[in-house]
Each structure stands twice: as structure tokens, then as C-alpha cells.
Amino acid sequence: MISVIICTYNRQKYIYNVLKSVAENELPRSEYEIVLVNNNSTDNTEQECRRFQDDYPEVNFHYCVETNQGLSYARNCGIRQSAGDLLAYVDDDATVNKEYLSTYARFFADHPDAVAAGGPILPVYETEEPSWMTHYTRQLITGKLYLGDKEREFPGGAFPGGGNACYRKSVFDTVGLFNVVLGRKGNSLIGAEEKDLFDKMTTNGMHFYYLPNAILYHIIPPHKLTQDYFDRLTYSIGVSERYRTLQISPKKYRNRLMKEAVKWGGTIVLWLFYALCLQPAKGNKLVAFRRNVTRGLLKH
């Protein structure tokens, strides 16, 4: 059975639709459950969940509250509350396609040695995409992930997006739960808990796969396209990487700083490219991205 885990914090506008999209999947309802973890929402999230229960009483739906603030706490709560041997995490501000659950169910049945997989994450803008957006900033802001239309193992260094990933439950017995030092807490944008988990999985020789037919549509509201959100998010990426690497070792942190220097080289090359293409706004945004990440990495 698949346990679909949805962790939410103040997303009353979107939560009903993501639950509805899961409930309208083609996989028989006897083969999955939904575990909704409310992480101290102060809006009408609970009422929206109850509305879903009333509208879809035949769905195996579990509602629980995680009082420790933080996405990693909520994700770990979902693991403890789940009955399935497969755990699929779905973002609370998204929807999934009708083949979503059957794609994961079929893949893991056909590949008993596979321990994790993820699918495309495609942005759906509530407004227009801004002119400064590039491949790099789009991935940053929207989480976009698309590796083509063929099933394959994720290439080296790449891993599923946290909002569209499915694991065998046994993974967490081997590598442990999500790191509660990392991950968003309330309005904080600290992250890297997925990267931390997949790094541990890689160290343990585990492999994870890209499934093009398990699609998540990530809704992008206007506030995520503002300068303030961009600056806070990119700075938080640096802070997250500092926390993550220092927890491993000082050497890991120093190596990350060296990689940052290399990334600066690539950023300068891209800035020159966009300048020559008469698209300076795109290049300037990438420089701002790198500058904010570096500030976060060097935070004391």
C-alpha cells in the first residue's frame, strides 16, 4: 500500500485541491491512504480537510497534528503515522496527475531493488513568469524538475524534489528520519533536508529513479516572484548548506566553500552571456542569487 503524506502549514487556499487530485487518481482507493499532517496551521486548513473528508468519505484519510514546528518534524510524523510500505510525499501547494499513484505502485512492484523515485515538478503560475527568469532561477523558485520522457536513474548529484518523492519505508530504518535541524519552520525558508537524506542514501549505495509519468504541478503564487522572497530564499539556501555540511564535518563545510568559488566562476560566465544577449536582468538575477547564497554560507 502507498501512504500519501501531505505536510501542511497555512495553505487553506490549496489544500483541498491537492487532496482532491490524489483522491481522483486511477489507483483503487483500497491500495492507498492519505496522511495529512497539519503543522500548527492558524488558518482554515483543518476545516478544508474536514470538507474533503465529507466529500470523499470512501478515501482512507488520516488527519493528525504535529505540534513541533518544522517541515522535517511533520515529515517524520507522517512516517510514524503511515501504514504503507511505500511513502509518497506530495507538496501542499500542488496537484498531481491521475496516473501519479499507479506509476509509483507499478514501478516499485516491477523493481524490487529500487528504494526511492521521483517525478517531474512542473510550475503553474498564478501570474505570468517574470522576464528575469532563467533555467537556473526557475529551478530555484519553482522547484521545476524535468529530465525527459524516459524512466531512468537520477544522474550523479541529482535527486527527486522533496515535494514529489516516493520511498520504501525501509529507507528510513537504514538512514534515519529527516534532519529536524533542517527544513522549513513556519515562515523560515531553511531547507536542504531532502539533500541531506539523499546524500545519506547515496553513501549507503542506494539508487533512486526518475519516473516521467508521476507528475506534480506546483502552484506559484505572486509573492514567490518578489524581490523580497528571492533574497530570503537564496540567503536561506546558503544558511541551510552551512548547517548541513557543518553537521557532517568541518572538512565538508570547507569543501562546500570551495565549490561555491567554482560556482562563482560559472555565474560570471553566465552573466557575460546574458549581457551579450542584451538580457542583463537575467544575468543580474543570477549574480544576486550567488551573492545571497555566499552570504548565507559565511553566516556566523
Q: Are 39 and 73 in contact (CB under 8 A)?
A: yes
Beta-strand relationship, 86-90 and 2-8: parallel
Q: Are 283 and 224 in contact (CB under 8 A)?
A: no
Q: List the grid coordinates of 20.
A: 482532491
Residue-wise pLDDT tens digits, 81-104: 999 999 999 999 999 999 999 999
pLDDT in tens, 120-153: 999 999 999 999 999 999 999 999 999 999 999 9
Average pLDDT on 188-193 reads: 91
At residue 164, what are phi and psi to the nearest 5 degrees?
Answer: -150, 75
**What are the residues whose beta carbons fall under 8 Å from the beta carbon of 98, sequence distance 6 or more?**
24, 25, 26
Distance between CA atoms of 297 and 63, rounded to whole angstroms? Answer: 37
CATH of segment(s) 2-223? 3.90.550.10
**pTM here?**
0.94
Separation CA 108–CA 117 (nearest Å): 9
3-state secondary structure of 94: strand
Give, in order, the Cα–Cα distances in Å from 173 to each of 4, 40, 68, 146, 177. Answer: 18, 27, 22, 29, 8
